[in-house]
Amino acid sequence: MLWEGAKGCRMNKIIVNPALARNHTLANTYQIRRTLSVSELSIVYVARHIEQGTLHVIKEFFPSALVQRKKDRRHIDCHEPGLGSKYREMLETFRSEAEILSQINHQGIIRYVQYFEENGTAYLVTEYCKGITLDQFMEEHPTEVTNDFLVERLVPVIRALEYIHSLGYIHRDVRPSNILIGEDGQTKLLDFGSAVRYQERTHTILTTAGYSPIEFYSGRSVQGPVSDIYSLAATLYFCCQGKAPIDVPKRLFHDTLEPLRDMNKVSPILTRVIHWGLAVSAQKRCASLKWFKVAMRAERLWERKFILMNGKKKLANDHKSTIKK
């Protein structure tokens, strides 16, 4: 699996498997090779460009609560006629994702290729990047998450966020399953389905337990770059702790967030910045991504100084011993 974790899907009433068949052709250009994942809102495929022979990822808009595949196993229609307006409203959001991606050109963000409509729905084509998501990596290699790993893998994500913020957008869904660690060594930010212009006054309520800030729980709250900072801090917390922070509504009146100070994977300065980024109140939260980069670079410089002075690499518990001195 590459970049959208399977979340389960309400199976439609006609076809048990809603995915398009292998070798099915889309837009007279792409031939489906396999299904990557099925979620509540979409089906994701790996497809081959027929003329060029290159591989691409194609996301098909398929909100399973609203639509089903017809008997021809290609076209879709709504379960009931009355669902048409809701379907069109959600389709507009899908188009918005494609429009935003088409305006973005950054090495830390999955590259847009094409958008088209067919079979009564819409398709978003992006580059194919072989790799695994950050949450999958954590599950398979939990002991390899060191400060060097965080610098190499998450600083590119920070730069990608800085870039989209400069364009007036916020991602609104930064989490480990939306960060791809490529086999080529590159890290890419995925899934812009929740992205919006943060100057807009109203927003669709879309939340992910553990990773969404409190302002995402209201459609009329002020949202901005500081909202993505919470999600980034939650992702770093996950890397250090092996689990997401507790859901933010549970922290409103009695904050039982487990502190990272007893962890040995990162330095005290990065630990403080992570907790600063996890402030429940947006007004008290770290307001700039630069502090995360500064904290990560400071850790690297400190480690190099330690090696020069001691002639050996810093051990995991050397953070504590240095503080005590």
Residue 140 class from Cβ within 10 Å (0-12 exposed, 13-18 middle, 19+ buried)? exposed
Q: Which of the following is catalytic: 72, 135, 148, 173?
A: 173
Question: 187: Cβ–Cβ under 8 A, 6 or more apart, which residues?
Answer: 108, 152, 153, 154, 156, 157, 179, 180, 181
Query: In a 3-state reduction of DSSP, which class is residue 131?
Result: strand
- C-alpha–C-alpha distance, residues 59 and 72, integer Å: 20
Range 102-107, long-range pairs (CB < 8 A, 24+ positions): 103/167, 104/163, 104/164, 104/167, 104/192, 106/159, 106/160, 106/163, 106/164, 107/156, 107/186
Active site residue 135: no
Query: On the CB side of 313, how many CA atoms lie within 13 Å of its CA?
Result: 6
- C-alpha–C-alpha distance, residues 305 and 24, integer Å: 58
Range 12-16, long-range pairs (CB < 8 A, 24+ positions): 12/64, 12/67, 12/68, 12/69, 12/79, 13/68, 13/79, 14/68, 14/69, 14/70, 14/71, 15/68, 15/69, 15/71, 15/73
- C-alpha–C-alpha distance, residues 270 and 210, integer Å: 19
Tell me which residue has tokens 């079979």. Answer: 119
Active-site annotation, residues: 173
